[in-house]
């Protein structure tokens, strides 16, 4: 399995960091978390859940007990819908990595906070894959005096694949063997 990617043009610049007016980067990748539940699936799930949670209330229709019991399943449905919506919001996380011969840029678009941008020179950048970290096969980029994590939301196998691919790309850029990939 390879890291999830989208072949797309990311625009003409990244916050003014585009190097020296050059053309397309030698390498670019767009990473995002896996989304296994679609909006339609969430609607279907909430529909089934509402039926299952409200069926036990049918014997109490027309009684005062209905008003005492109804807030509990309705609260569960409201909480579930809110958590599903938060999950969709968290799914808008995107990490964009672009590599030029003289610049590597990572832009992380966070769903509820400002975007973060990191840049360094490829010749001074190293990619590391560690067993100790917040996730299995913790992938980091080190350069320009900082170390950043990359693809923490990817599966361990996807991080290994991305690590190997980034090692090849940095080696190719640093030796001058540029092949444009998008």
Smallest CA-to-CA distance from 92 within 109, 79, 74, 80 is with 109
Tokens of 90: 């968290």
Query: Model pTM?
Result: 0.71
Report, as ranges of residue numbers, the positions in the chain whose pLDDT lies below 70.
1-22, 177-182
Q: Are 122 and 102 spatial neighbours (Cβ–Cβ below 8 Å)? A: yes
Residues 17-49 have pLDDT tens digits of: 444 455 789 899 999 998 889 999 999 999 999
Cβ neighbours, 10 Å, residue 181: 15
In this prediction, residue 169 carries a pLDDT of 94
Considering only CA atoms, which of 128, 131, 135 is closest in space to residue 164? 128
Q: Specify the pLDDT at position 8.
A: 37
Question: 27 and 167 in contact (C-beta within 8 Å)?
Answer: no
Q: How many CB atoms lie within 10 A of CB 135?
A: 15
């Amino acid at each position: 399995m390879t890291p999830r990617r989208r072949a797309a043009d990311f625009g003409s610049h990244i916050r003014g960091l585009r190097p020296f007016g050059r053309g397309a980067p030698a390498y670019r990748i767009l990473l995002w978390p896996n989304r296994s539940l679609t909006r339609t699936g969430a609607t279907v799930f909430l529909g089934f859940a509402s039926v299952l949670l409200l069926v036990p209330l049918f014997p109490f229709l027309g009684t005062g007990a209905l008003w005492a019991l109804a807030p509990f399943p309705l609260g569960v449905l409201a909480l579930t819908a809110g958590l599903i919506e938060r999950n969709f919001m968290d799914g808008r996380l995107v990490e964009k990595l672009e590599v030029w011969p003289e610049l590597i840029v990572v832009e992380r678009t966070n769903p509820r906070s400002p975007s973060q941008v990191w840049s360094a020179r490829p010749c001074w950048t190293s990619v590391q894959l560690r067993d100790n970290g917040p996730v299995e096969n913790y992938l980091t980029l080190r350069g320009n005096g900082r170390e950043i994590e990359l693809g923490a939301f990817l599966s361990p196998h996807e991080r290994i694949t991305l690590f190997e691919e980034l090692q090849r790309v940095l080696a190719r850029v640093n030796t001058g063997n540029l092949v444009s990939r998008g």
